[in-house]
Amino acid sequence: MAKHETPFLDQLESGPWPSFVSDLKQQAEVRQKNEAGVEFQIPVDAVDDLLGVVELSYKHGRTHWKHGGIVGVFGYGGGVIGRYCDQPKLFPGVEHFHTMRISQPAGKYYTTSYLRDLTRLWDLRGSGITNMHGSTGDIIFLGTTTPQLEEIFYELTHTFNQDLGGSGSNLRTPADCLGESRCEYACYDSQDLCHFLTNEYQDELHRPAFPYKFKFKFDACPNCCVASIARSDMSFIGTWKDDIKIDQDAVAKYVENDAAYPSNAGAHKDRDWGPFDIEKEVINLCPTHCMKYENSKLTIDTSNCTRCMHCINTMPRALKIGDDRGCSILVGAKAPILDGAQMGSLLVPFMEVNAENDYEAICDLIDKIWDWWMEEGKNRERLGELIMRQGFQKLLEVTELKALPQHVSYPRTNPYIFWKEDEVPGGFDRDVAEFRKHHLR
């Protein structure tokens, strides 16, 4: 028997898409029956009360969580999001309902034994409700009480060799696409770079020392499956410098509409778009028109290719990424607050991704950017906003990079150009009396 009536939420149990309401109800029942004999460390009816408070929000059209909440574990300045219900008498099971961020393995591969360990811990000490996963990447444990935080952390670190993720004005939990593990487009091992940098910068992740939050994301090619260009302050996007590899026999199979060579690997299979037409679907859609198909031979003028991935995506069996691989680094992406949304802007067109020297060049660049932003960034100013305020040129200066045409979509249209004094012969210190000798008042 459910603890609270939920007429609004009940209507979200129908329909084909997996219903979060059905799942929450199932969990409420599992806790009430407690067939596993768990000695629950937070109220047994926490999930019933969660359903109750969300139902009340559906009635009021307003949230019922109090503002903010500052809780955590000793030694760290983040990792836990405190939350308290604003109707604790009605819903005592969620009076405390804190979220813990658990650092996820790169690529989000799991074994069931590991997941079962985590669920046993969370059933005992939390609500048994999770997010798989938070937008930044963490495993989210949704709902526990303050006294349980240290207990959970102790168990995570001692028994499961597992740390918390990040929150607050610090390096947040990095995330990646699945990269080389199951994709032929991967230009570098995004999982290894993600894992390495997460460990390299553990201090910056757990103890907020920044003006505001900072995120890394790692896409192994320009398809951007983890959306690094939009969702990380520093975005690492795989690319290559040499020729796209062309298998002419395989191209011929696509042109012949061989069933084993469907366009775009079969992504459009459920609609009749007519037979594959290489001119229409590849050659004419190339953004730089650097491709030709003549005499049954496909050629690509590599020097004019911008590596957008379209031809490779469309004919994955015939076209392959080049062998001289690395990544581009873009910086400054953020959501609108405060000065407007930004995507990452290109800073380093090509960077080596070398695990053998512990990604030295990448770490060196990160350190230079952080040195600048930590000193100059205002309170709650994202890197993208600091770049806007002090100028892209300043970013080039602190990272010791030379300005390149690749740094702009187009050159400036206004002529409000700053010059440094030492760039101008004679400097800025002038005597108006000297000027007047030749130009009478």
Partner 1 sequence: MAFISSGYNPDKPMENRITDIGPRKYDEFYPEVIKKNKGKWSHHEILEAGVLVHVGESGDEVYTVRCGGARLMSTTHINEICDIADKHCDGHVRFTTRNNIEFMVDSKDKLEPLKNDLKSRKFDGGSFKFPIGGTGAGITNIVHTQGWIHCHTPATDASGTVKATMDAVFEDFQTMKLPAQLRISMACCLNMCGAVHCSDIAILGYHRKPPMIDHEYLDKLCEIPLAVAACPTAAIKPVKTKLGDGTEVKSVSVKNERCMFCGNCYTMCPSLPLADTEGDGIVLMAGGKVSNRISEPKFSKVVVAFLPNEMPRWPSMTQTIERMVNAYSNGANKYERFGDWAERIGWEKFFDVCELDFTHHLIDDFRQQAYNTWRQTSQFRF
Nearest to 328 by CA among 342, 346, 309, 344: 346
We find the least distance from the C-beta atom of residue 271 to partner 1, in angstroms, to be 4
Largest CA distance in the chain: 100
Q: C-alpha angle 91/95/98, rounded to 5°?
A: 130
Helix residue spans in 34-81 (DSSP H): 46-60
Contact region with partner 1 (CB under 8 A), list: 258-266, 294-302, 400-408, 422-430 = 258-266
- CB nearer partner 1, residue 282 or residue 365: 282
In this structure, the dihedral spanned by the alpha carbons of residues 388, 194, 380 and 402, taken in order and rounded to 10 degrees, is -20
Instruction: State the number of binding residues for partner 1 (CB under 8 A).
Output: 149
- CB nearer partner 1, residue 105 or residue 368: 105
Residue with tokens 């959970």: 152
- CB nearer partner 1, residue 338 or residue 403: 338
Instruction: Please state the length of the chain.
Output: 441
The answer to whether 13 touches 22, Cβ cutoff 8 Å, is: yes
The answer to whether 163 touches 156, Cβ cutoff 8 Å, is: yes
Contact region with partner 1 (CB under 8 A), list: 256-264, 354-362, 415-423, 424-432 = 256-264
- The footprint of partner 1 on residues 167-226 (CB under 8 A) is 175, 177-178, 180-184, 186, 189, 191-192, 195, 198-199, 202-203, 206, 222-226
- CB nearer partner 1, residue 135 or residue 299: 135
- The footprint of partner 1 on residues 421-440 (CB under 8 A) is none
Identify the residue among 40, 293, 350, 392 touching partner 1 (CB under 8 A): 40
Residue with tokens 């509409």: 257
- CB nearer partner 1, residue 12 or residue 90: 12
Regarding 255 and contact with partner 1 (CB under 8 A), the answer is: no
- The footprint of partner 1 on residues 386-415 (CB under 8 A) is none
- CB nearer partner 1, residue 77 or residue 398: 77
We find the least distance from the C-beta atom of residue 425 to partner 1, in angstroms, to be 34
Contact region with partner 1 (CB under 8 A), list: 293-301, 311-319, 399-407, 421-429 = 311-319
Identify the residue among 163, 300, 359, 383 touching partner 1 (CB under 8 A): 163
- Mask for 68-87, x = binds partner 1 (CB under 8 A): x-----xxx------x----
We find the least distance from the C-beta atom of residue 384 to partner 1, in angstroms, to be 12
- Mask for 269-298, x = binds partner 1 (CB under 8 A): xxx-x-------x---xxx-----------
Contact region with partner 1 (CB under 8 A), list: 304-312, 349-357, 363-371, 418-426 = 304-312
We find the least distance from the C-beta atom of residue 198 to partner 1, in angstroms, to be 5
Rounded distance between C-alpha atoms, residue 116 and residue 110, angstroms: 10
Rounded distance between C-alpha atoms, residue 402 and residue 420, angstroms: 16
Regarding 135 and contact with partner 1 (CB under 8 A), the answer is: yes
Identify the residue among 35, 37, 111, 418 touching partner 1 (CB under 8 A): 111
Nearest to 400 by CA among 375, 369, 376, 424: 369
Regarding 380 and contact with partner 1 (CB under 8 A), the answer is: yes
Rounded distance between C-alpha atoms, residue 391 and residue 124, angstroms: 52
Identify the residue among 144, 145, 162, 170 touching partner 1 (CB under 8 A): 162
How many Cα atoms within 13 Å fall on the side-chain side of residue 383?
A: 31
User: What are the CA-CA distances from residue 126 to residues 35, 49, 66, 146, 149 (Å)?
Assistant: 17, 14, 20, 10, 9
Q: C-alpha angle 393/398/404, rounded to 5°?
A: 45
The dihedral built from the CA positions of residue 357, 358, 362 and 366, taken in this order, carries a sign that is negative
- The footprint of partner 1 on residues 335-364 (CB under 8 A) is 335-341, 343
How many Cα atoms within 13 Å fall on the side-chain side of residue 325?
A: 21
Rounded distance between C-alpha atoms, residue 25 and residue 10, angstroms: 10
